[in-house]
Every structure is written in structure tokens, then in C-alpha cells.
């Protein structure tokens, strides 16, 4: 999915960039498997680039720079659809992955689950 600049600007105007360094929270979800892949921050430029190029961009809080996801690894994340939350400070980005999202090589950054965290007495 790609939007025109005008459409993207309309979306931008409905967002509340209230998080760190003028960002919203972006949650990446695999559009087919519904697996949550990662969480990052997007500033206005990252949202604009994501919507108009169809490739997920983030704002890196640590590096303080715009970041095309997969620029070095080649694992681009293709925008399929998106949803905005009730107060406009978070966006759910539905993607088709061209490769693992996580720098560890895992398909998702959320690969550490309760069974891998050495919990012995968890009760259901």
C-alpha cells in the first residue's frame, strides 16, 4: 500500500506525536500470521515516508535518526495496511516481511517467551 502525499498529510494531522522526541508508537504486525513483530517509534517524517513509499521507516531514539527498516539487512517491511488508535499516539502497521525483523535473525523481536525465561512455577 502507498498513499499520496496529500493522503499521508491527512493521516499525519490525525496523529498526536506525544511520545519521546515527537514520536508515536508503531507496532508492526505480520498481515498474514498476525504475529507481532516489533515495536518502534515514528516521528512525522518516518510516518510520511512509510505511507508514501510503502516501506516501513522508524525514528531511532538511540541514534536520533530516520531509519528505513531493512536498509542494511535487505529485510524491508512492506506496508499492507495500517490502523490508528483511539487517541492517535500509536499506529498498528500491517506488513509483509521480506525477511526477519529482528537483528538477532529471529522472525520477530518478541522471541523470548515465558517458557524461555526459566519460569518454573507459572500457573495458568
Ligand-binding site membership of 85 (annotated) = yes
Helix (H, G, I), strand (E, B) or coil at 59: strand
Ligand-binding site membership of 89 (annotated) = yes
Among 7, 16, 22, 99, binds its own copies (CB under 8 A): 7
Q: Do residues 55 and 14 make contact, with C-beta atoms less than 8 angstroms apart?
A: no
Among 5, 22, 99, 106, binds its own copies (CB under 8 A): 106
- The answer to whether residue 63 forms part of the interface with its own copies (CB under 8 A) is no
Residue 32 makes CB contacts below 8 A (sequence gap 6+) with 96
The alpha carbon of 12 is separated from its chain's Cα centroid by a whole number of angstroms, namely: 16
Q: What is the smallest separation between the CB atom of 90 and its own copies, expressed in angstroms?
A: 4
Binding residues: 85-87, 89, 102, 109
Amino acid at each position: 500500500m502507498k498513499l499520496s502525499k496529500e493522503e499521508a498529510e491527512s493521516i499525519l494531522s490525525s496523529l498526536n506525536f506525544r511520545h519521546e522526541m515527537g514520536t508515536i508508537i508503531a507496532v508492526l504486525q505480520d498481515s498474514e500470521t498476525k504475529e507481532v513483530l516489533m515495536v518502534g517509534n515514528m516521528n512525522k517524517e518516518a510516518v510520511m515516508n512509510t505511507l508514501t513509499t510503502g516501506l516501513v521507516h522508524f525514528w531511532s531514539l538511540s541514534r536520533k535518526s530516520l531509519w528505513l527498516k531493512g536498509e542494511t539487512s535487505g529485510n524491508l517491511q512492506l506496508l499492507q495496511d495500517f490502523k490508528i488508535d483511539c487517541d492517535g499516539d500509536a499506529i498498528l502497521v500491517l506488513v509483509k516481511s521480506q525477511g526477519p525483523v529482528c537483528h538477532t535473525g529471529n522472525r520477530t523481536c518478541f522471541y523470548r517467551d515465558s517458557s524461555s525465561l526459566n519460569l518454573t512455577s507459572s500457573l495458568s
